[in-house]
Structure 1
Amino acid sequence: MLIEKHISDLLYRYQCVTVPGFGAFLTETVSAHVTGSASSFFPPKKVVSFNANVKNNDGLLANHVALQEKMSYELAVIKIGDVVNEWTYLLQNRNRVVLKNIGEISVNNEMNWVFEPANTVNYLTDSFGLSSFVSPEITREVLKQEVEALEEKAPIIFTPERKKDYSYLKYAAVFVTMLGAGGFGYKTYYDQQITNQTLLVEKNVQEKVQQQIQQATFLINAPVEAVELSVAAPVEEKRPYHLVAGAYRSVENADVAIAELNAAGFENAKMLPMNKLKLYYVVYASFKTLEEAQTDRKNIQKTHNAEAWLMIE
């Protein structure tokens, strides 16, 4: 059974993994740093160390082995003890114990155990995917000196340019100027002629208009007959809600009821045309909206006539 594999798995999650009867592997987080003149960059990592004085069984390694190897806790403790005996025997005979991805344990001249970590694995999960790299040294000053040396050695050569004859251009300019002046003069003369002709035409038109005004007469031979315009009678606003005071067979009785209502203060009282039942309704008033009619009905029923009712056409 490879105990070092289980130890390596636990180092990702815990700072201390104890191997009962052998020692404890400890981790310490180290920040990112840069070393060397060549600028070697190292990401944050967990540095593994070993302490041979911590040997008590805390149950962490044994429980992990039992779960991974699918065995009982007691059997896992026995398996770990067998591996520890093997490692101890190797060290007592001055042999090295190599733990993959963790490090090597050897014995010095004083028979003390010496641990050398293997820096092949970074157990800090926050640095997953980060690796160390070396940035080449930037030699700005050296390049600057080389450029300055080249500038001192490089000769500066001035090549005289051959002067070209552009005298023909002045003649072309004179010709273009004369052509432009001639065109401008002709345009001015043409515009003046058009203006004069326009004024002449306008003058003739005005003279003819004045002659017609002087000859015009304002006598009307036959008067125009007056036209009668019929004015439509104003359309009476529709009031379909009537608050009825009573119904009468004769117009005389209806007029008496209207007079009584007027005397009582109901100035809008009136008689409606005879209906299909040959009755004349006398109403307190007619309204445009149902809300107005309902409001007046409640007031009249309380103060004047409890039997007043609302009729809607």
Structure 2
Amino acid sequence: MTLANYINNLLYRYECVIVPNFGGFITNKISAKVNNFTHTFYAPSKQLTFNSHLQNNDGLLANYIATAKNLSYTEAVLEIENEVKNWKLSLKNEELELENIGSFHLNEEKILIFEPANINYLTSSFGLTSFVSPAIKRIVYQEKVKQLETAAPIFHNEENNSKTPVFIKYAAAAVILFTLGTVGWKEYQKIEYNNLVAQSEQQQQNVEKTIQEATFIIDNPLPAITLNVTKKVNNYHIIAGAFREPENAEKKLQQLIQKGFNAQILGVNKWNLTPVAFGSFNSKKEAINKLKIIKETESKAAWLLVKEY
């Protein structure tokens, strides 16, 4: 599976997937909308954008690849780096096409331009497509009323002078209702369309404002049918330390690995620190017993982090 496939899988569950040293892919939720000019109705969707300024590793993509391919965190990071190098080499000479994500190319000013693929990342809209509904033309109903009047003429006498036949009342009421409905529906469409545009712009601003502060947590694995692997969920982590500088976290990781620990880096947390774990466990009892041993033999400062993936 290529790096593009991993990114594509994550975009269905997360609003932002950052590729270190390349940029971030962001999904923006768009409500259902209608085009008044073409009379086309569109289902709710998540549209994809790209921000080249989001290049710091938040750990989401690396952790996902490490789990899916049974690699260490360091090996996953190295794999991402190699793929990004190949992308940048390709962009110097030609357009870069990422399957099910979109294409990149450099313009004359050497600025990276992204063209998203026509993919809806909103899972609740799966199977829904746009459709065109012809505009209501009230002239059709006026012609039908005339046909009714021709087929059933009204004969004047004292009785029907005083009372209008019931079916004529219904026909007249129908014409009025269709007339008012058509005008009201068009006005309603205009208001709804303007609201949708405003909501979309506000959502984009909110994402750009908070994306750097977001903490991404893997809260559920992808179905086995997609990855052909069985994911073991380890929610309990024995922490050796949390570091401001990624280099210090990597140094601590290597020290623990040399001592025989199944250590790993857990990514950057919401305080912009990088935790390093002695090991991770799917059993709380097992994690507590291991923590006791580590406190007695290795580090009294070790502590237990419960983090659901």
Class of the TM-score when normalised by the shorter of the 2 chains: 0.3 to 0.5
Asked which structure has the greater CA Rg, the reply is 1
- More relative contact order, 1 or 2 (CA 8 Å, 6+ apart): 2
Normalising by the residue count of structure 2, what TM-score does the alignment of the two structures yield? 0.45
State the TM-score, normalized to the length of structure 1: 0.44
